[in-house]
A and B are shown apart, each in its own frame.
Chain A
């Protein structure tokens, strides 16, 4: 298994292509997403993750449906989310949906929890957006118990209580899906991830690295504080974005209209300022490799690197070409990251490794009991 996982994450936006002047239908966007995930596996990537949104112009409102469909058409790629809304989804349904997915794809999945940043979504699902952080904590604590305990009696503030409830199916091999927590600004989420020894993912897209360095360092310190390992052994994931062409000037020319009209940062800073000040690379494969390798210098050795590729109205053909280019530089990225990685930094989490770790822990306990 690879020590570090590389993959892509999609927001699932339907954005007008500013060059061709065309906008995909929802149907086309959803079919394209499946094609992108299959392509990601084909070029050798380890992870495909989809966002969850419940308002136009986004299409992925039902991540486990989409991931199960992709899982049926792929062999190796790990399926994940970016993010699953822990605030507005009922933790009981989350426990069941993701455990079902885990069985269907033989453990080839995990999930990343997030709060979402769209305030109007909360009342659509019966919740109050001003309680986002409390909801996150209560929902997550319940989700953990539903996976770890066969019979749960529970009482909380935000949903009806549970009496001797069993979420079905039980997690595959009795090991719950690995959980990442995604956040762009909230230290409480880093704290939650650290407390449970879960992974922490910084989207690393919109802002200068210093912002994310603060959050990740905080998570690493708290991870150690709760006794899960040394700070450099905490499980960290990062986002990133790029646009590559063999010739760097071609990349700049081709991507500029997409950058200038992009939903998040378009009509603001110049592409040159933005690439200088944030993790975005627009240039040659070599420039992309060099910039990506600096992430480990800034954030420490980490376990998962996801890139945002299908966005800003880029046509499907270009997205697939970008994935080919990413596939070509992958061996170099893997070798370079591995070369700098100390032996005591844990590998990226997988279901098989977690089952093995659980069995090893049980065996040790058994020995202790025998000798006692």
Chain B
């Protein structure tokens, strides 16, 4: 079964990022009932995320979310745009994630902001982050401003969500299952050779 994890970094109560995350999750469910969807809110994990950035290890409940991501095939990430970029919590969460967890996973970018003038933050801030993490980023990103939640804009938002979800599912169809968590011994094997060799002098 294909697994998608939806991560929302919304922080206010009744957060528009969480609303957008739910909208994307429902659209995935409508498009393909076979996909299993897990939703994760970062707000209750915010202390764990900062603690992990200090100690270098994840608390058990943060580790649980890391494990969910490691087992996922696709990931939907949603953040509010503050001061021209994703929030500190959103970035700190991905900073605390082990290096290779998102390699090769299909990632759908979504964001919310107080004005449509922030919409390019999807492409100049979020897209480079997930390029660095070596994810396969869905071409269409979804940005929602206050305008989109009103009756005038909602049709356009719905169609953007559907297009992005469509792209996500088609990429998932072509990628097979995501990487499982790394097997250390295999990763080490090349190093072993390089260590053993020089002594044969």
> Which residues does A use to contact B, with CB under 8 Å?
137-138, 141, 187-188, 191-192, 195, 206-208, 211, 214, 218, 221-222, 265, 267-269, 273-274, 277-278
A188 and B55 within 8 A (CB): no
Contact of B196 among A138, A195, A214, A269 (CB under 8 A): A195
Q: What DSSP secondary structure best describes chain A's contact surface?
A: helix
A208 and B57 within 8 A (CB): yes
Nearest-neighbor residue (CB-CB) of B57 within chain A: A207
A221 and B54 within 8 A (CB): no
Which 9 pairs between the two chains have the least Cβ-Cβ distance?
A268-B54, A269-B51, A207-B57, A187-B188, A268-B51, A188-B191, A191-B195, A265-B55, A268-B55
- Shortest C-beta distance, B136 to chain A (Å), equals 28
* With A207-B57, A269-B54 already in contact, 7 other A-B pairs whose C-beta atoms are closer than 8 Å: A137-B198, A187-B184, A187-B187, A214-B184, A269-B51, A269-B55, A273-B59
B56 and A206 within 8 A (CB): yes
**Residues of B contacting A218 in the complex (Cβ-Cβ under 8 angstroms):** 184-185, 188
| B41-66, CB < 8 A from A | 50-51, 54-57, 59-60
B185 and A221 within 8 A (CB): yes
B191 and A207 within 8 A (CB): no
Contact of B51 among A188, A206, A273 (CB under 8 A): A273
Q: Report if A269-B59 is in contact (Cβ < 8 Å); known contacts: A137-B198, A195-B196.
A: yes
Q: Report if A222-B54 is in contact (Cβ < 8 Å); known contacts: A137-B198, A141-B198.
A: no
**Residues of A contacting B188 in the complex (Cβ-Cβ under 8 angstroms):** 187-188, 191, 218
**Residues of B contacting A187 in the complex (Cβ-Cβ under 8 angstroms):** 184, 187-188, 191
**Residues of A contacting B50 in the complex (Cβ-Cβ under 8 angstroms):** 268
A265 and B54 within 8 A (CB): yes
- Can you give 15 contacting A-B residue pairs, CB < 8 Å? A187-B188, A188-B191, A191-B192, A191-B195, A207-B55, A207-B57, A211-B57, A214-B184, A218-B184, A218-B185, A265-B55, A268-B55, A269-B55, A273-B59, A277-B59
Nearest-neighbor residue (CB-CB) of A189 within chain B: B195
Q: Report if A191-B55 is in contact (Cβ < 8 Å); known contacts: A137-B198, A268-B50.
A: no
Which of the listed residues B50, B192, B198 has the most CB atoms from chain A within 10 Å of its own CB?
Answer: B192
**Residues of B contacting A265 in the complex (Cβ-Cβ under 8 angstroms):** 54-55
**Residues of B contacting A278 in the complex (Cβ-Cβ under 8 angstroms):** 57
**Residues of B contacting A267 in the complex (Cβ-Cβ under 8 angstroms):** 54
- Shortest C-beta distance, A227 to chain B (Å), equals 13
**Residues of A contacting B192 in the complex (Cβ-Cβ under 8 angstroms):** 191, 222
- Shortest C-beta distance, B190 to chain A (Å), equals 10
- Shortest C-beta distance, B61 to chain A (Å), equals 11
A188 and B195 within 8 A (CB): yes
